[in-house]
Amino acid sequence: MSLSPVPGRRRRWPHVLAWAALAALVLVTAAHLATRPPAMPAFEKVRADWRPSEAWLYDREGQLLDSERVNFERRRLAWVPLNQISPAVRTAVVQSEDRRFWSHGGVDWLAIASAIRARWTGDRSRGASTLPMQLAAFLDPSLAQPGKRDWRTKLRQMRAGQALAANWSHDEMLEAYFNLLPLRGEAQGIGAGAQSLFGKKPAELNRTDAALFAGLLPSPAAGAEALGRRACRVAQAKDCTAIRAAAATLVSGEHAARFDPALAPHLAVRLLDQPGKRVKTTIDRRIQTAAIVALRRQLAGLGSDRVRDGAVVVLDNATGEVLAYVGGVGLKSTASQVDGANAPRQAGSTLKPHLYAQVIEHGWLTAASILDDSPVQLDTASGLYVPKNYDHSFKGPVSVRHALASSLNVPAVRALVIDDVQQFRDRLWTLGYHGLVEDGEYYGFSLALGSAEVSLVEQANAFRTFANLGRWSPVHFMPNQRTDGARQIVNPAAAFIVGDILADATARSDAFGADSALRLPFWAAAKTGTSKGMRDNWCIGWSDRFTVAVWVGNLEGDSMRAVSGTSGAAPVWRDVMLSLHAGSPGKPPTMPEGVEARQITLPGTREPPRREYFLRGTAQTEMAAAPQAARRPRITSPVSGSVYALDPDIPIDRQRLAVTVSGSVAGYRLNLDKKALGDADAGQQILPRPGVHMLTLVDPGGRMIDRVRFTVR
């Protein structure tokens, strides 16, 4: 019996095959679509889009001073070209991560086969992820999402690696890999990694460094023991002692702490605001270092239980360039991030030179004028103002020279009465003290003693004006900055006289001693100051070439303990000045036009006869004490800032306010709210209306001599 084919069976096979082919095509298409990788960018775009997280500050010679982290997502430095990466590192990474990198096309099929066989037999798998595949994951994190290590993700990564290899050269892939790879902590790329992990540039890494670098890649957070073991395998070393020691140092972070010079952290914060920004400054590295050393030594010597913070600014007198900017030195500071050079602090006695310069240039006082250092009470809107000297004693009649050099408070207040609070406030604003945003009445007579808040940079530049004989110009931190705005603010003769007073060691000997920290072996002028409550201590001074300003205090505002002008800031000022003038002593200024010298006597004082400087036309040979009342006429009632309330039970015309004016006022007139009130010596009375009023006293020439503001309710 024979078998014959079943009719129709042979005809069904083509249909089965067709359906199988179609199904296979669908599956392949689906797999192709499911494993399609994201589009890979061009190498040029990746490099162009790279943005460092840091910005860098350089000194005037182009040397690194400091860096500032601006972007906090990752820590990245500048893009590093492949030829600036140590050959030892390139070799170690390729050998440990992808040994056939230079020969495959993005996927190492031999490594994949080996990995499959190892998994099948249960052996230890080396891994088959090539450098192009890892680079693809760096470029698109969706190719390496945490917890997704399935076949689909691996296939997408393989295809992306092949795409890179097809469009990039091997050098481009390796260069991008080194710049994009994540490392220990926040570091990304070999630039940040070489600096933070090894304290070197990428080109300086040696074979031991290369082994450690390659050993980090599988597990950047590995501890010292695991890292040393892995690095030893990479290096194929017989004795791993040195590598293990290097691994321990790397993990400790020691290199990161000492690589960045960190010479101007506060200035870096001030000037660096964009990732990748490189700013060349006017800072002189030698002067900056000298200022840091001097301040650190002084604060350490005083002890943190007495004072914790300090700041130093050094200016070039001729150019206004900032040669040193030390906002703080850390140590045991509790506010080390605060910029002490730019923080507003109470000025203390450091504003007195500007006051005396103003009254001298107007001819109201001379350096030889005698002021009474005795108790005084001044009416103010808030009550009596009773200034006292630092040592709570009084010296009696003293000359302006002695009063300023010894920083006596009561004569300074008397000088402000002779001047005008508003005029003095306006002078300070013109000198760059732009923290004084209120009018003179707000500060009152205490402005003579430095009740206003100022910054160290403002102080330095205002005193630099004296060094330039009254000519002011802005400071600048970067070379070739425009210096528009230079102008003559202080009379050159008055600036010269004030400088001569502040350089006079004899005149200040009563207060500071004959050989204080202010006395240098060459010409230099200086003024100290201590604010209310011993919160701030200043020393600002200048030589022929430099102005040095120093502040010492506690940035959190608590008082210092047993720190005075000559024991706090002055020693730092002295050390910096000596360093600046090493081998080149400062020279005294040349006497300008408009100054004349005269031998004088000062009867009624304890001061011996001497040679004194005067503005031309104001010289005298024998001085007499200034009158107790101000030489210039003044409105004594109403008191500026007063508030008067009308009584509804008293007829309005019975509530007139009497105006009193001191001094000789023949020919002077009073104006109320810019309207004429009448002669100043006629006993004027004001019929008050509710509101704020301004009463002014003008001289026969129409110049305003005094003004008061008062309120009627």
The letter for the amino acid at 373 is D
Percent of the chain with pLDDT over 90: 49
- pLDDT the model gives residue 631: 55
Query: Three-state secondary structure along 392-459?
Result: CCCCEEEEHHHHHHCCCHHHHHHHHHHCCHHHHHHHHHHCCCCCCCCCHHHHHHHHHHCCCEECHHHH
Of 257, 284, 303, which one is at a domain's C-terminal end? 257
**Cα separation of the two ends of the chain:** 136
Bigger pLDDT: 503 vs 700? 503
DSSP 48-86: HH---SEEEEE-TTS-EEEEEE---SSB--S---GGGS-
Distance CA 181, CA 515 (A): 62
pLDDT in tens, 26-43: 555 555 455 677 888 999
- pLDDT the model gives residue 659: 86
Are residues 121 and 173 part of one domain? yes
Are residues 517 and 370 part of one domain? yes
Maximum distance among all alpha carbons in the chain? 159
Report yes or no on 316 lying in a domain: no
Of 257, 287, 304, which one is at a domain's C-terminal end? 257
Report yes or no on 9 lying in a domain: no
Are residues 586 and 461 part of one domain? yes
Distance CA 600, CA 611 (A): 6
- pLDDT the model gives residue 321: 97
Which whole number is the average pLDDT over 402-415?
A: 92
Are residues 544 and 605 part of one domain? yes
Distance CA 619, CA 628 (A): 21
Are residues 586 and 677 part of one domain? no
Report yes or no on 243 lying in a domain: yes
Q: Which letter, b or e, does each residue of 313-338 get, where b requires 16 or more Cβ atoms within 10 Å of its Cβ? A: bbbbbeebbbbbbbbbbeeebeebeb
Report yes or no on 32 lying in a domain: no
Report yes or no on 64 lying in a domain: no
Range of the domain at 417: 347-474+487-615
Q: Which residues lie closer than 8 Å to 45 by C-beta, 6 or more apart?
A: none
Are residues 638 and 574 part of one domain? no
Of 102-111, 628-637, 667-676, which has the strongest mean pLDDT?
667-676
Are residues 678 and 599 part of one domain? no
Are residues 468 and 379 part of one domain? yes
Report yes or no on 34 lying in a domain: no
Are residues 677 and 604 part of one domain? no
Are residues 593 and 447 part of one domain? yes
From the number of C-beta atoms within 10 Å of its C-beta (0-12, 13-18, 19+), residue 647 rates as exposed
Report yes or no on 15 lying in a domain: no
Is the pLDDT at 623 greater than 50, yes or no?
yes
**Both tokens assigned to 545:** 């070439």
pLDDT in tens, 363-385: 999 999 999 888 766 655 455 56
Distance CA 4, CA 625 (A): 148
- pLDDT the model gives residue 149: 61
- pLDDT the model gives residue 368: 95
Q: What is the CATH number of the domain that holds 401?
A: 3.40.710.10
Angle between helices 224-235 and 241-252 (to 10 degrees): 140
Distance CA 434, CA 458 (A): 8
The answer to whether the beta carbons of residues 297 and 370 sit under 8 Å apart is: no
Are residues 470 and 564 part of one domain? yes
- Domain total in the chain: 3
Is the pLDDT at 8 greater than 70, yes or no?
no
Main-chain phi, psi angles of 428, to 5 degrees? -60, -40
What is the band of 629 on the pLDDT scale with cuts at 50, 70, 90?
Answer: very low
Report yes or no on 521 lying in a domain: yes
Q: What is the CATH number of the domain that holds 112?
A: 1.10.3810.10
Q: What is the CATH number of the domain that holds 682?
A: 2.60.40.10
Give this prediction's pTM: 0.76
What is the band of 701 on the pLDDT scale with cuts at 50, 70, 90?
Answer: confident
Of 226, 257, 288, which one is at a domain's C-terminal end? 257
Are residues 661 and 580 part of one domain? no
Distance CA 42, CA 657 (A): 85
pLDDT in tens, 262-292: 899 999 999 998 888 899 999 999 999 999 9
